[in-house]
Amino acid sequence: MTISDTRLLARICLAFGICVGLSVRDAAAQWIPIDLGSLAGGDTWAYALNDHGQVVGVSTAASNDSVYRAFSWTLAGGMIDLGTLGGSRSSSSAVNNNGQIVGWSTTVGDGTARMFSWTTATGMVDLDTTAGGSTPIAVTDSGQIVGSTPFLRDFPDFVYPHAFSWTPAGGMLDLGSLGFFSEPWAVNDGKVVGYSAIDANYLLVHAFSWTWASGMVDLGTLGGNYSLAVAVNRKGQSVGWAQAVDGQAHAVSWTPAGALVDLGTLGGRMSTASAVNNQGQVVGTAFTEGEFERTHAFSWTGPGGMIDLGTLGGSDSYASAVNINGQVVGDSDLANGQVHAYSWTPGGRMVDLGTLGGDSSSAVAVNDRGQIIGSSRFPDPVSYGQYKWVGVLWEPIADLGCTGTLAGCDLKGANLSGAYLKGANLSDANLKKVNFSRANLAGARLTRANLKNVVFSNANLLGAQLTGADVSNAVWSNTICPDGTNSDSNGGTCKGHFKE
């Protein structure tokens, strides 16, 4: 996976043959990008996070990208391997606010992938009861899991996947279909939304909602043949897109009662919605007006309608997610053709979140604390011409108690392992006992900072300014010193190798 799910969503209508597929960069002052690391030296992808900052995803092996593991990551504990159900592959899909993680894993012999649930108390537990295997996509705080599994034959010669719901009390329940296959996309503790084929040739594919009381309900279209529901909030409002009579896709919202609302476009032909918060704010992507239509991220509310979020100076932008505060994240083109993750807030602007030193990044989710996850790409230092992807958490400095700037901030005891702080201004900051292992502090200003008992293991301090800093009892191990030497070659220290 090398693009955000939102870019995929914006173009998913291609599968049905109906679509064609100014800000400032001040993110360093408001967020600290943190490299989530890797389990075995390969690529890492962050897929979801909860409101406590727990991140889940998948990490590959450097020597063999067909071997990969589900992981859980926290700022305090770092990355842990969730293991497998006996095979060589596993991947985590979602995590709830109780720390329950769901995903899939192969068993011995790497046969059928099976659904698992993982908690710190139970470890990985096989929940699958099907012969064909199951793929979960979401889990609620009450433990309801939704996904798809090919456990029912709709047609004598084919096995079509069906949406399912799994609960601790009732186990796995087939949600049925509108005729043939069904796939869920989201759940809100009882209400499941997704899409289902009405005919075997997929000429009619409609969005659905499912509840315990009503079963599966066809949500209809705007007069065309296709629709898709991709998100649902706690109030039961669903969003997605639907085909109109003219064949174009429009972003839509379904009320809790099922009424269909066309959200319009930004003047162009098409639009798609990707997320909705509990206040009813919808975000997505829409074509703009003009001879050469561009794709721009949008935010929509009932009172304000659809507004263009703009770009980071390039031609296109995409919206992935929105939190309770109206903060929107996604990715956007820059004027130089690169693609960077961004954050946008109501009444504010689109802010470039930057990268971990490479040329590309994308944001896929944001929690209600404003923590953002995604991925960043940079050239692979080992394989020429190849790229390495790493999972990223953008940690708001406000979440760490800093106001406006890191300079002079009290970060005592913070775990900033893997932080990308190249060129950052940390002068006069209280950094006592901060864990800077694997951190990139190249060119950072650490003048007069309190660095007592700081851990600099595997950190990069090349060109950093430490004039007047107190580095007593600092831990140096394989540290690139400010003058470019290695602490291990300097008697286990960088003292005497600072840049004045």
pLDDT digits (tens, 9 = 90+) for 115-137: 999 999 999 999 988 777 889 99
Burial 245-264 (b: 16+ CB within 10 A, else e): eeebbbbbbbeeeeebbebe
pLDDT, residue 385, reads 64
Query: Fold identical between 30-400 and 403-500?
Result: no
What's the CATH superfamily of 403-500?
E3 ubiquitin-protein ligase SopA (2.160.20.80)
Q: Residue 255: phi, psi to the nearest 5?
A: -65, 165
Q: Tokens 């162009």, residue? A: 268
Count CB-CB contacts under 10 A for residue 122.
Answer: 9
Binned at pLDDT 50, 70 and 90, residue 386 comes out as confident
Q: How confident is the model at residue 384 (pLDDT cuts 50, 70, 90)?
A: low
The answer on pLDDT for 5 being more than 90 is no
Least confident of 3-12, 227-236, 340-349, 356-365: 3-12
Confidence check: pLDDT of 50 > 60:
yes
Q: What pLDDT score was predicted for residue 1?
A: 33
Mean pLDDT of the 149-158 span:
58
User: For residue 382, what pLDDT is reported?
Assistant: 65
Q: Of 28-32, 353-357, 371-375, where does mean pLDDT reach its minimum?
A: 28-32
| Higher pLDDT among residues 86 and 380, named by residue | 86
User: What is the reported pLDDT for 149?
Assistant: 86
The pTM is what?
A: 0.91
CATH architecture of 30-400: 7 Propeller (2.130)
Average of per-residue pLDDT across 474-479 = 97
pLDDT of the residue at 26 = 46
As a whole-number percent, the residues of the chain with pLDDT over 90 amount to: 78
* pLDDT tens digits, one per residue of 71-117: 999 998 899 999 999 998 999 999 999 999 999 999 987 778 899 99
pLDDT digits (tens, 9 = 90+) for 277-306: 999 999 999 999 886 789 999 999 999 999
More confident residue, 22 or 341: 341
Mean pLDDT of the region 358-365: 94
Cα–Cα distances (Å) from 444 to 147, 250, 497, in that order, read 46, 47, 15
- Using an 8 Å Cβ cutoff, are 295 and 318 in contact? yes
Do residues 308 and 266 make contact, with C-beta atoms less than 8 angstroms apart?
yes
pLDDT (average), residues 5-34: 50
Tell me the β-bridge partners of 57.
46, 71
Give domain limits for the chain. Answer: 30-400, 403-500
- pLDDT tier at 403 (50, 70, 90 boundaries)? confident
Query: Residue 427's CB: how many other CB atoms inside 10 A?
Result: 19
Whether residue 23 is predicted with pLDDT greater than 90 in this model: the reply is: no
- DSSP class of residue 401 equals T
The CA distance from 273 to 37, in Å, is 32
pLDDT of residue 151: 55
How confident is the prediction for the chain on average, in pLDDT? 90
The count of residues in the chain is 500
Q: What percent of the chain has pLDDT over 70?
A: 90
User: Would you say 446 and 467 are in contact if contact means Cβ atoms under 8 Å apart?
Assistant: no
* Whether pLDDT at 448 is above 60: yes
- The answer to whether 173 touches 211, Cβ cutoff 8 Å, is no
The answer to whether 198 touches 205, Cβ cutoff 8 Å, is yes
Strands 260-264 and 267-276: unpaired
Q: Is 181 in a helix, a strand, or coil?
A: coil
Give the pLDDT of residue 157.
57
C-alpha distances out from residue 235 to 105, 252, 368, Å: 33, 16, 17
Helices (H) and strands (E) in the chain, counts: 2, 32
What lies within 8 Å, CB to CB, of 448 at 6+ separation is 427, 428, 467, 468, 469
Segment holding 30, helix H or strand E: helix 27-30
User: In the prediction, which pLDDT does 62 show?
Assistant: 76
For 416-427, the pLDDT digits (tens) are 999 999 999 999
Please give the full DSSP string across 112-180, using - where no structure is assigned.
SEEEEEEETTTEEEE----SS--EEEEE-TT--EEEEEEEEEEETTEEEEEEEEEETTTEEEE---SSS
**pLDDT computed for residue 246 by the predictor:** 94
Question: Is the pLDDT assigned to residue 11 strictly greater than 70?
Answer: no
How far apart, in whole angstroms, are the C-alpha atoms of residue 31 and residue 449?
Answer: 20
Q: What separation in angstroms does the CA of 218 have from each of 9, 159, 166, 193?
A: 20, 22, 21, 10
46 in Cβ contact with 93 (< 8 Å): no
Please check the confidence at residue 7 and state whether its pLDDT lies above 60: no
pLDDT digits (tens, 9 = 90+) for 227-248: 999 999 999 999 999 999 999 9
Q: Which of 101-105, 354-358, 487-491 has the lowest mean pLDDT?
A: 354-358
